Structure formats: C-alpha cells, structure tokens
Structure 1
Amino acid sequence: MKKESVDIRWVYQLRIYEVSPEKRDIFHNRFKNHALRIMKRYDFEIIALWESVSVVNFEFIYLLKWPDIATMELQWKLFLADEEWKEIKKKTIDETGEPVIRVTSRLLNDVDYSPDFNP
C-alpha cells in the first residue's frame, strides 16, 4: 500500500507553560514586556495566547505559526541565544526564581477533514 504524502501548508506549534501561581504576575510581565518583543525580532508569528487554570498551577498557552520546521528550529535557537533575553531571564531568576515549572511543545498538523484554519 502506498503511503499518502502529507501536504503541510503551515507548521503550527502549541506551547504550554506550567507556571507557579504565586509567580503568575512575574511570568506575565516577563512574557508581555520582554519575550513578545524579542520574539518579534526573530519573526515569531503568534496566533493566539490563552491562560488555563489546572489543579495546582496555572497554564499559559499560545499558538505559533511557522512556514516550515527548519525555520521554526532556527528561530527558536536564535531567540534562546539572544543576549537580551538571556539577561532578562537571568535577572528574573536571580530576583524571584524561575516562574516556569515546565514547558510542553507540540507540532500540530491538520488532518484532511479539518475545517480551514486561516487566522
């Protein structure tokens, strides 16, 4: 049986950050005032941002859109190596401790019967 090729129009990346409830405001401040600005520098296309409350901690969830996996991997590498980002992250950790407990990342491919998703 011949395997069907998958026509990937875009790569969607779902990111879920589990954050300490007592550091929620610290996390939001760092993401909103620093991470978003620096991500823009590296052409991150953020589709949407959400917050979800779990049993113990809260989750910050966002969806990214990439043209392909190679671009996604390169842009993440550049972002994580950015000197300004590394300094901001270090300052947060030194002053208050790291607010993020765990990060989960998933790549999402639409199935052939999915409704069109064109944010």
Structure 2
Amino acid sequence: MMHQLRIYEIFEHNKAAFHARFRDHAVRIMKRHSFNILIMWEARTRDRTEFVYLLEWPDEAALTERWASFMADQEWSGIKERTAAEHGKLAGEIQSRVLRRTDYSLQLCST
C-alpha cells in the first residue's frame, strides 16, 4: 500500500462552493473510479486556506490509472465547468505528494 497527500489552495469567498462540489460530486465520482479517500481536512496558514486529503492506493500503477480515468470522466468535467461558471475558480495551486512508509515507521508508531 501507498498513500497520496493532496493539498488544494481554496479561496474564502467561494470556499462553501468548493466543499459542496467536493462533498457532493468529487467524492462520489472518485469512488466510482476506485479511489480510497481516508480522511479530509481544512487547514489555514498565514497566507491561505487549504483543503487537504489523504488517499490510499494499492500501488503506483493504480494511482496513475485511476487519476487518468477520473480526470477523463465526462460527468466530472461537466460539473467542474458548471461550478466554475457559477462560482469562479474554486481551487488555486494543487500539490500532490506520494508518501512511502519507511521501514521503521510501524515499529516506532506501535510503541
């Protein structure tokens, strides 16, 4: 198993629209493409608000294939288009990090 951390810059003026789109549409469509979302957070730094979530993947090939199928999903494309037309740009910078567990992390975390 491997994990992926996704960090989206979101904007205060349309944050509710971003969350509604993710909650009501992205999560459902991601599940259809076999995404395994473990947890979601909102974080605030001095300069910006972020939406952060953690995904679990069986391997890197699954990550690549499933993201490609999600990004090509016609329903998702339409929803993004409609919500952007209604609320403006909902996300700024998007960061993605693939996390690989160290061989000693389970030892340290279980003590």
**TM-score bracket, shorter-length normalisation:** over 0.9
Equivalent position amino acid for 1:65 in 2: E
Matching residue of 1:107: 98
Matching residue of 1:16: 7
Q: Distance in 2 between matches of 1:23 and 1:58?
A: 11
1:90 counterpart = 2:64: no
Equivalent position amino acid for 1:85 in 2: W
Q: Cα distance, 1:115 vs. partner?
A: 2.3
RMSD (CA atoms): 1.2
TM-score, reference length from structure 2: 0.93
- Runs of 4+ with >2 A deviation: none
SS at match of 2:104: coil
Aligned residues: 108
2:38 to 47, 50, 60: 47
Structure number with larger C-alpha Rg: 1
Query: What percent identity do the matched residue pairs reach?
Result: 44
Q: Distance in 1 between matches of 2:96 and 2:14?
A: 21
SS at match of 2:7: strand
Query: Per-residue CA shift, 1:3-31, capped at 9, x if unaligned?
Result: xxxxxxx1100000010111110100000
Unaligned runs of 5+ in 2: none
Q: Which has the larger share of helix?
A: 2
